[in-house]
Structure 1
Amino acid sequence: MDFSQLSESLQRDAVWVVFLNVLAQQVGLPVPAVPTLLLAGSLALGSGQLASILAAAIVASVLADWMWYLAGRAFGYRVLSGLCRLSINPGSCVSQTEARFVRWGLGSLVVAKFIPGFSTVAPPIAGALRMRLPGFLLAAATGAALWAGLALITGWLLRDEVQATIGMLDRHAGGALIVAGGVIVVWLGWKLWQKYRFQQLSVVPHITPDELLAAMASGQAPLLLDLRGPAMVAESGPISGATLAEHDRLLDAVGAWPKHQPIVTLCNCPEDAGAILAAHRLLEAGYLSVRPLQGGYAAWLAANG
Structure 2
Amino acid sequence: MDIAQLTTALQRDAVWVVFLNVLMQQVGLPVPAVPTLLVAGSLALAGGQAGALLGAAVLASVFADWLWYLAGRAFGYRVLNGLCRLSINPGSCVSETEERFIRWGVWSLVVAKFVPGFSTVAPPIAGALRMPLPSFLAAAGLGAALWAGAALLAGWLLRGQVQAAIAALSANGGLVAGALLAAFVLWLGWKFWQKYRFERLAAIPHISPAELLAALASDRPPLLLDLRGAAMIAETGPIPGAVALPTDQLCQTAAAWPKDRPIVTMCACPGDATAVKMARELQQRGHTSVRPLKGGYAAWQAAAPGATPP
Q: Bin the TM-score by the shorter chain.
A: over 0.9
One-letter amino acid of the structure 2 residue matched with residue 53 of structure 1: L
Instruction: Give the distance between the partners of 1:248 and 1:15, measured in 2 at CA.
Output: 45
Q: Residue 47 and residue 163 in structure 1: after superposition, are their counterparts in 2 closer, same or farther (change >3 A)?
A: closer
One-letter amino acid of the structure 2 residue matched with residue 119 of structure 1: S
Other-structure match for 1:103: 103
Other-structure match for 1:54: 54
Other-structure match for 1:288: 288
Instruction: Give the distance between the partners of 1:285 and 1:113, measured in 2 at CA.
Output: 37
Shift, 1:94, TM fit: 1.3
List structure 1 runs of 4+ shifted beyond 6 angstroms. none
Other-structure match for 1:147: 147
Other-structure match for 2:22: 22
Question: Which secondary structure does the structure 2 equivalent of 1:119 belong to?
Answer: coil
Shift, 1:46, TM fit: 5.1
Instruction: Describe how 1:115-126 pairs up with structure 2 within 5 A.
Output: 115-126=115-126
Instruction: Describe how 1:62-101 pairs up with structure 2 within 5 A.
Output: 62-101=62-101
Give yes or no for contact 1:57–1:148 (8 Å, CA) kept in 2.
Answer: yes
Question: Which secondary structure does the structure 2 equivalent of 1:118 belong to?
Answer: coil
Shift, 1:131, TM fit: 0.5
Give yes or no for contact 1:101–1:108 (8 Å, CA) kept in 2.
Answer: yes
Other-structure match for 1:40: 40
Instruction: Give the distance between the partners of 2:99 and 2:200, measured in 1 at CA.
Output: 26
Q: Residue 84 and residue 226 in structure 1: after superposition, are their counterparts in 2 closer, same or farther (change >3 A)?
A: same
One-letter amino acid of the structure 1 residue matched with residue 12 of structure 2: R
Question: Which secondary structure does the structure 1 equivalent of 2:146 belong to?
Answer: helix
Question: Which secondary structure does the structure 1 equivalent of 2:291 belong to?
Answer: strand
CA offsets, 1:30-56, max 9 Å, x none?
000111111111111259522211111
Q: Residue 73 and residue 296 in structure 1: after superposition, are their counterparts in 2 closer, same or farther (change >3 A)?
A: same
Other-structure match for 1:171: 171
Instruction: Give the distance between the partners of 2:217 and 2:139, measured in 1 at CA.
Output: 47
Instruction: Give the distance between the partners of 1:221 and 1:161, measured in 2 at CA.
Output: 66
Instruction: Give the distance between the partners of 2:5 and 2:56, measured in 1 at CA.
Output: 21
Instruction: Give the distance between the partners of 1:162 and 1:264, measured in 2 at CA.
Output: 55
Instruction: Give the distance between the partners of 1:171 and 1:90, measured in 2 at CA.
Output: 39
One-letter amino acid of the structure 2 residue matched with residue 165 of structure 1: A
Give yes or no for contact 1:266–1:293 (8 Å, CA) kept in 2.
Answer: yes
TM-score by length of 2: 0.94
Instruction: Give the distance between the partners of 1:152 and 1:261, measured in 2 at CA.
Output: 57
Unaligned runs of 5+ in 2: 306-310
Question: Which secondary structure does the structure 2 equivalent of 1:70 belong to?
Answer: helix
One-letter amino acid of the structure 1 residue matched with residue 40 of structure 2: A
Other-structure match for 1:261: 261
CA offsets, 1:177-204, max 9 Å, x none?
0011111111111111111111111111
Question: Which secondary structure does the structure 2 equivalent of 1:225 belong to?
Answer: strand
CA offsets, 1:63-114, max 9 Å, x none?
0000000001011112112112111112133132112211211011111111
Instruction: Give the distance between the partners of 1:126 and 1:47, measured in 2 at CA.
Output: 37
Farther off after superposition, 136-145 or 224-233: 224-233
Unaligned runs of 5+ in 1: none
Instruction: Give the distance between the partners of 2:254 and 2:33, measured in 1 at CA.
Output: 43
Instruction: Describe how 1:190-269 pairs up with structure 2 within 5 A.
Output: 190-254=190-254, 256-269=256-269
TM-score by length of 1: 0.95
Q: Residue 221 and residue 87 in structure 1: after superposition, are their counterparts in 2 closer, same or farther (change >3 A)?
A: same
Other-structure match for 2:308: none
Q: Residue 137 and residue 10 in structure 1: after superposition, are their counterparts in 2 closer, same or farther (change >3 A)?
A: same
Shift, 1:270, TM fit: 1.8
Shift, 1:242, TM fit: 1.0
Instruction: Give the distance between the partners of 1:53 and 1:162, measured in 2 at CA.
Output: 17
Q: Residue 150 and residue 276 in structure 1: after superposition, are their counterparts in 2 closer, same or farther (change >3 A)?
A: same
Instruction: Give the distance between the partners of 1:250 and 1:150, measured in 2 at CA.
Output: 39
One-letter amino acid of the structure 1 residue matched with residue 28 of structure 2: G
Farther off after superposition, 79-88 or 65-74: 79-88
Shift, 1:118, TM fit: 0.8
Shift, 1:211, TM fit: 2.1
Farther off after superposition, 172-181 or 2-11: 2-11
Count of residues paired in the alignment: 305
Other-structure match for 1:3: 3
RMSD: 1.5
Report sequence identity in percent.
Answer: 67
